Amino acid sequence: MAFFIASSPHAHSRRSTPDLMKWVALCALPGLAAQTYFFGWGTLFQLAFAIVLALSLEALVMVARKRHPMSALRDNSALVTAWLLAVAIPPLSPWWILAIGLVFAIVVAKHLYGGIGQNLFNPAMVAYVVLLISFPVQMTSWISPSELQTTPISMGDALSLMFTGFNLDGLSLQQIRTGIDGVTMATPLDAFKTALHTGKTASEALQQPQFSALAGIGWEWVNLAYLIGGLALIKLRVISWHIPVSFLLSLTVVSGLFMLLAPGETASPIVHLLSGATMIGAFFIATDPVSASTTVKGRLVFGAFIGAMVFIIRSWGGFPDGIAFAVLLGNMCVPLIDYYTKPRTYGH
Which DSSP string corresponds to 253-273? HHHHHHHHHSTTTS--HHHHH
Domain presence at residue 283: yes
pTM: 0.89
Are 21 and 170 within one domain? yes
pLDDT at res. 7: 55
Residues linked to residue 338 through DSSP beta bridges, in sequence order: none
Are 27 and 153 within one domain? yes
Q: Alpha-carbon distance 36 to 87, whole Å?
A: 10
Are 129 and 252 within one domain? no
Q: Alpha-carbon distance 143 to 121, whole Å?
A: 29
Are 247 and 330 within one domain? yes
DSSP 206: T
Domain presence at residue 211: no
Residues near 12 by beta carbon (within 8 Å), at least 6 away in sequence: none
Which DSSP string corresponds to 46-99? HHHHHHHHHHHHHHHHHHHTTS-HHHHHTT-HHHHHHHHHHHHS-TT--HHHHH
C-alpha radius of gyration, the chain, whole number: 20
Could you tell me if 25 and 281 are in contact, meaning their C-beta atoms sit under 8 angstroms apart? no
Are 174 and 296 within one domain? no
Are 40 and 167 within one domain? yes
Are 25 and 160 within one domain? yes
Q: Alpha-carbon distance 278 to 273, whole Å?
A: 6
pLDDT tens column, 149-201: 777 788 998 999 999 988 888 888 887 777 544 445 678 888 888 888 888 88
Are 34 and 181 within one domain? yes
| SS3 annotation, 91-139 | CCCCHHHHHHHHHHHHHHCCHHHCCCCCCCCCHHHHHHHHHHHHCHHHH
Could you tell me if 290 and 116 are in contact, meaning their C-beta atoms sit under 8 angstroms apart? yes
pLDDT at res. 10: 56
Count of alpha carbons within 13 Å of 312, Cβ hemisphere only?
A: 12
Sign of torsion over alpha carbons 335, 340, 342, 346: positive
Nearest to 54 by CA among 75, 39, 37, 36: 75
Are 268 and 170 within one domain? no
Phi and psi angles of residue 311, each rounded to the nearest 5 degrees, phi first: -65, -45
pLDDT at res. 8: 57
Domain presence at residue 43: yes
Collapse the DSSP code of 216 into the 3-class scheme (helix H, G, I; strand E, B; otherwise coil) and give the result. Answer: strand
Domain presence at residue 142: yes
Domains in the chain, number: 2
Domain presence at residue 226: no
Among 186, 204, 220, the domain boundary falls at 186
pLDDT at res. 93: 93
| SS3 annotation, 300-312 | HHHHHHHHHHHHH
Nearest to 141 by CA among 97, 195, 82: 97
Among 186, 217, 241, the domain boundary falls at 186
Chunk the chain into consecutive blocks of 10 residues (it has 348) and report each block's average pLDDT, rounded to whole numbers.
55 72 94 94 95 94 87 85 94 94 94 86 94 91 80 86 89 74 66 83 82 85 96 95 97 93 85 92 94 93 96 88 94 94 79
- For 334, the domain range is 231-340
Domain presence at residue 204: no
Domain presence at residue 225: no
Are 166 and 97 within one domain? yes
Residues near 76 by beta carbon (within 8 Å), at least 6 away in sequence: 17, 18, 21, 22, 25
Phi and psi angles of residue 184, each rounded to the nearest 5 degrees, phi first: -75, 125
Q: What single letter denotes the amino acid at residue 146?
A: S
Domain presence at residue 217: no
Are 159 and 238 within one domain? no
Are 133 and 59 within one domain? yes
Residues near 243 by beta carbon (within 8 Å), at least 6 away in sequence: 282, 286, 287, 292, 293, 299, 300, 302, 303, 306
Among 166, 186, 206, the domain boundary falls at 186
Q: Alpha-carbon distance 59 to 65, whole Å?
A: 10
